[in-house]
Amino acid sequence: MNNTSGSNKLLYNEAISSLMGALPVAYIRPTRSGNATVYAVCTADGTELATFNSQEAAIFAARQHDLEPMLMH
């Protein structure tokens, strides 16, 4: 994770995006919801955008919103 803040986060995300083919990055990470594992789509600063029942659904949703999915473990 980076230690940038404010407008520096935007510059950081833009730099990463340019390296990833000009698409903003979305991080896909497994998380717990009750007794189930779900997959969260998150921004670079860790903000959770949505959760899905499968990793494939999370990846598909990220791509549908012009985000480049990156898997986290």
- Interval 23-53: pLDDT, tens: 688 999 999 999 999 999 998 888 999 999 9
CB atoms within 10 A of CB 53: 12
Model confidence at 1, pLDDT cuts 50, 70, 90, reads very low
Burial class for 19, CB neighbours closer than 10 Å (0-12, 13-18, 19+)? exposed
What whole-number distance in Å separates Cα of residue 40 and Cα of residue 6?
23
Contact of 49 with 43, CB cutoff 8 Å: yes
Model confidence at 72, pLDDT cuts 50, 70, 90, reads confident
What is the structure's pLDDT at 4? 45
**Annotated domain spans of the chain:** 7-71
Question: Considering the chain, what percentage of its residues have pLDDT values greater than 70?
Answer: 68
